[in-house]
Structure 1
């Protein structure tokens, strides 16, 4: 079906290509700032009209070597950049882009959010990401407002009281990332509802890597419908909770610590700084965003950790020793607490090293809001910018012998600033970073203290589509530990 649609629109793409070329010539000729004009654009090629170098970018991910797209171009443009390529030009997702290749580039982008650059995503993703409550608002301003409200619940102090819940859910469920997110964010463990939400999320996730053709029968169209239905289901939960809170007594809504109980109830009791109450639709849209954003990334991170622990028995043994010391200090049936998680230092170093070698995300985008010069190259207003974690994660200047799995990189002072960026950085850093850390460590504790495992396919690789996936699903053989240990 999608192939048929591609054939039907091929002639349209030809016309758009001609317009695209003309428009770029017109814009380039319209630049008036003579001082900025003295600086050249970054070295590089925009490839084919319309598609640019997108196919090659996707191809390296599907081959499991996404770093090659960046590293090959860094090497290619070394001579033209004076034996140092810190930025190059390409064309991805129908846009000319500057790719910043160093830890300094990451720092520059993250430090200039809302000054020289702003967040940007391809327009077609709005159909999957932007909710009804957000379409008539200034997205940046509204997002910042809600980040301020949501942030306390995703920081260490706000998450401490949920560690016991995380531990309890981990002991019960295998569909870990999604089930735990629904428990913490929506306070639901209803198997029937979880099944519906899981199916919708699966259809939605397929849309992020599908051709953006919104016609009946296409994967993208199915993803759009799943996005709408998923929001509706979440909003039903939010509305039901609002009604429950409105009929409850004031004392019953507050726990012994002065909190409103679960995260959803707390959000419903919050107001913006101007005193305006947050609507059910706004809360549903934001919780939708948190659940969707964290689902694939966290699942990918957990999968890579499982793979490395299977491949590296000496690393597994050290993690096992650390986790068993914690387990043996607990009474029977006692759940983990904040102090226990803080002792999992080596386990977190292992998780970080797994995310360095196989980052769940291949970076995000920005858009220049004004003309500026970076490393001697002009970045014109409107040009898109891209940071790629492998630019630094696989850079020997940041991580010596970068292909080696070495958790000690994260001990002591750790890697150079802005070199390890699986969660991004700056104002746009993933707000769920600490939430992800706790979920990963609680999962590692429960699985390592109960099992050892082997990969069914020893040579199985990972690919990016652009979501990080094992090529065969990473099936494993579990070996329970002797109960006497």
Structure 2
């Protein structure tokens, strides 16, 4: 009976040690290992106590202890270390019954220590010491009877409790270290190469990890500082848990090359669960191999420059209509078109409306009306929940985004059906993106892109174009208001183009080619204020980077801003200098990545360039504006959002 009185406190000590390790060091290894092992001991001790009181059920207790230990050990190994290569501690613990079926110290100590060893599976010394100790228990307990078991065995039990707590506390930063050789306990694997370590850091709480901390930092525009703090603490490579997945954070030119240029047999493009659930699993962000190439080629067939040339005029027309409705319309007084007052508007919401209308018109063929308004509302909700903790509970952002995604997909399915009928009636296959995708067929006259793939990729393009372009335009207008020299140079370039065109004539592809300085200003804005904070890749097999092991199925988390503000790449990075892009080809590769890089570079890059240049031309040649909020700060949610949506006072401008 006394044996069980010491086994249960031993379990409580392990539980307490695990909690202390987590509270003091943020160590999930301490929490998982200590609490799990301690609870195994307590549960097993109680089961064994009941069984021994009845005696005849002792084998039942043996089986229960063995199953409990094996299952919990495996679950914790999978949960906290993403490995199924476990030492069957529970089974070995069961064997300890045969060595000494009536010694609770021997049995419980072996059960707990071998379970703990599972969390430190590379440390052969601990394994050997534990087996030796169990044998010692076996030898000593053979010399006495069960009723005298409260003897010197306790001296072995107490050191185990203390050492286990210490090891659990120490475990977070060293559980993947190379095993230390010890001639007293030779191992058959001692001559093999030491296993690599996963990067330092902490996985944090299950599911949540560091997600909330990152999101808080993004919303307060301190995300780069938040990451720099991790870099100072752990170095340029560290592990974390984001949005339910274990991830490794890397940054810099070499990291970007590793992410964007790696073979798809090592790294594939996979977003966090919140993004993939909202956009769908058949968009090019999720596809790999031949599927990715097939769908990407279909998208590029419409989005390549040669195809987009014919849409410049239509885009110009859409921008002019938007300005007449939302900018000029804000100023007219008493229905007199010649009398104006200074009007106040919020730039960001209007830029979102503009980019959404352009995408709806050119890419989807959806004209103004109720359907476009519904789509706009649903896409706004979708974007809000894309970087959120993927817990699908009512009233959460994630839940609202999923519902909005379902509504948008339903509407797009109806739209695809209408486009298919138009094609059968002889409509041009180049009139919009959806019609183009429906018309692509292989040599067997089969549709190359499935309906599901069309829907998911249309949603991706909508989200990407809707938010990124509107953010870029908003920050350009803020820049022009804050920097008169930059504004004057852009205005001069755009006025020169406008003066050469007959009144009312739409822009052409040739006009865009003359907007070289304006695009350099746009690229410098993208460098300093990238709309996309970062992204994810999935590791499909164990790979090495920077001397560390990145385990299979982990994510790689990369960011844009830290590299683009690196003073070793861009001197005086905080100074706005468009001349950096005088010759974009001279930039070091994988340093300027607002559109990604490698074979997965954004296929909508050229569309975004045309959209930006046409919009800026129309804005600067027709309006002047003054900032009403001098606060130049912004938050990320997940895109950059200026304070109060950038309120400005606008007035019309006539071409000189």
**Corresponding residue of 2:462:** 291
Cα displacement (A) at 1:381: 1.9
1:40 is matched with which residue? 197
2:83 to 16, 27, 32: 27
The equivalent of 2:291 in structure 1 is 142
Deviation track 1:46-95 (CA, whole Å, cap 9, x = no partner) reads 344543322332222122122113323333345xxxxxx4x333332233
Structure 2 partner of 1:262: 432
The partner residue of 2:309 within 123, 145, 160 is 160
Contact 2:622/2:655 (<8 A) preserved = no
Q: Which structure is richer in relative contact order (CA contacts within 8 A, separation 6 or more)? A: 1
Map of 2:7 onto structure 1? none
Q: What do the CA deviations read for 1:273-295 (whole angstroms, capped 9, x no partner)?
A: 66421444442332222112221
Question: What TM-score do you get using the length of structure 2 for normalisation?
Answer: 0.64
Cα 1:468–1:370 shift into 2, 3 Å? same
Closer, same or farther: CA 238–26 of 1 in aligned 2, 3 Å? closer
Which segments of structure 1 move beyond 6 Å, counting only runs of 4 or more? 17-20, 31-36
Partner residue, 2:125: none
The answer to whether residue 612 in structure 2 is matched with residue 440 in structure 1 is: yes
User: In the alignment, which residue of structure 2 is the partner of 1:334?
Assistant: 505
Residue 91 (structure 1) aligns with: 241
Q: How far does residue 474 in structure 1 lie from its aligned partner after superposition?
A: 0.8
1:480 matched to 2:630: no
3-state SS of the aligned residue for 1:120? coil
Q: Which structure 2 residues correspond to residues 298-377 of structure 1 after superposition, within 5 A?
A: 298-377=469-548
Shift of 1:477: 1.0
Report if aligned partners of 2:540, 2:553 keep a CA contact under 8 Å in 1.
yes
8 Å contact kept, 2:208–2:389:
no
Going from structure 1 to structure 2, the CA distance change for 1:369 and 1:35 (only over 3 Å counts) comes to farther
SS in 1 for 2:544: strand
Residue correspondences, number: 454
Instruction: Look up the SS of the partner of 2:391 in the other structure.
Output: coil
Partner of 1:81: none
Q: Are the counterparts in 1 of residues 274 and 387 from structure 2 also a CA contact under 8 Å?
A: no
Compare the two structures and name the one with the higher helix fraction.
2
1:63 to 220, 223, 244: 220
Distance 1:312 1:466 in 2: 26
Task: Specify whether residues 288 and 456 from structure 1 end up closer, same or farther in structure 2 by C-alpha distance, changes over 3 A only.
Answer: same
Q: State whether residues 363 and 424 of structure 1, in contact with CA within 8 Å, keep that contact through their aligned partners in structure 2.
A: no
Change (3 A) 1:124 1:274: farther
Structure 1, unaligned runs of 5 or more = 1-13, 79-84
What RMSD in Å do the two structures reach over aligned CA positions? 2.9
Which residue of structure 2 lines up, in the alignment, with residue 4 of structure 1? none
In the alignment, structure 1 residue 421 sits paired with structure 2 residue 593 = yes
* Shift in alpha-carbon separation, 1:377–1:163, aligned structure 2, 3 A: same
Q: 1:233 aligns with which of 408, 411, 415?
A: 411
Tell me if structure 2 keeps the 8 A contact 1:37–1:378. no
Distance in 2, Cα, partners of 1:473 & 1:107 = 35
Partner of 2:332: none
Q: CA deviation at 1:416?
A: 1.8
Equivalent residue number for residue 247 of structure 1 = 425
Stretches of structure 2 that go unaligned for 5 or more consecutive residues are: 1-30, 37-71, 87-120, 123-188, 323-349
2:271 is the alignment partner of 1:121 = yes
Please name the residue that 1:54 is paired with: 211
Following superposition, the deviation at residue 372 of structure 1 comes to: 2.1
* Contact 1:154/1:432 (<8 A) preserved: yes
Q: Secondary structure at the match of 1:91?
A: strand
Larger radius of gyration: 2
Please give the alpha-carbon distance, in whole angstroms, between the structure 2 residues aligned to 1:286 and 1:49: 31
Partner-residue secondary structure (3-state), 2:644: coil
